[in-house]
Amino acid sequence: MGGRGTCPNREADGSGGCLYCDALGSASDDLRLDEPLKKQIRERFIPGAKQIIYFQPFTATYGDEEALPARFEEALNWEGIVGLALGTRPDCISERMWGILADLNRRTHLELELGLQSAHDATLRFIHRGHTVKDFEKAARKAASLGIRVITHIIAGLPGEGKHQLLDTIHYLNALPIHGLKLHPLHVMKSSPMARLYGVCAMTEGGEVLRAEGAPHLNILTRDRYVEWAVEALAALREDIVVYRITGERRTPDFLGPRWLLKKSDYLHRIRAGLKECEILLD
């Protein structure tokens, strides 16, 4: 669920932000950002099911701190909603918001999704994350001290990063009180600053090396390379960390690939086979 919000990392007119972020704040394709929350819930709710409401695009803890809790409560009041998942940034939770989250956590199943993307400060600087690795760690530890589950979001194949940097990020997270992980390969959105910087204007296939003056090379991952990295990353992940996702693609005209991401069952099958081979996955 979500609204046409914003995030402290973007300009007032919506420009800027993380290098890979698109015009809709990384919202999932089927979100209707202008619709009232009630309508969004009604359209997605499966009668009789127990569901967790996920506030995802932009930054869910950023904005009017009077209005935000009212939205969370509105969602929780819906019969069958058993929890909340809030996607946010590690540097965007005020003391007051921590109090609100702690209270929610006492009353419902709360998941706090904190974007890290990489455990390398040089990468975070280059992609304009606007926070440091330390900021992430501080927020993750604070959440854990309040008993709040932290789900961390990271990206494979950021500019200048290879498998080694991805595995560093996994090892870094293994030492923190993290409950869950979301991993996906970098994809390019036409409306992102990254597409402009590297001059991407048509669908990429994977395997291209893109260059921009003064910037690290952007190696668009091939399917096989991502499968290899994902299997190694999951094999290195601490056993109790729950894997929430291992992919991410978009099906809108703004999506510029890599194209193989659209064949989800194909590469998920390969990742599964790789995990079975190294006995991480038994069935």
For binding to ligand SF4 (CB under 6 A), which residues are involved? 7, 9-10, 17-18, 21, 25-26, 58-59, 89, 115
Please enumerate in sequence order all residues whose Cβ is within 8 A of that of 235, keeping only pairs 6 or more positions apart, or say none: 275, 278, 280
Q: Which is nearer to ligand SF4, 62 or 229 (CB)?
A: 62
Q: Which is nearer to ligand SF4, 88 or 219 (CB)?
A: 88
Return the exposure string of 155-190: e unless at least 16 CB atoms fall within 10 Å of the residue's CB, then b.
bbbbbbbeeebbbebbebbeebebbbbbbbbbbbbb
Residue nearest to ligand SF4 (CB): 17
Strands (E) across 196-236 are located at: 209-210, 218-219
Least gap, CB of 9 to ligand SF4 (angstroms)? 4
Least gap, CB of 278 to ligand SF4 (angstroms)? 32
Preceding peptide of 8 cis, ω within 30°: no
Q: Which is nearer to ligand SF4, 18 or 81 (CB)?
A: 18
Q: Which is nearer to ligand SF4, 55 or 267 (CB)?
A: 55
Least gap, CB of 110 to ligand SF4 (angstroms)? 20
Q: Which is nearer to ligand SF4, 3 or 115 (CB)?
A: 115
Least gap, CB of 221 to ligand SF4 (angstroms)? 19
Least gap, CB of 210 to ligand SF4 (angstroms)? 20
First to last CA, the chain: 33
DSSP 8-state symbol, 129:
-
- Cβ atoms of residues 154 and 181 within 8 Å: yes
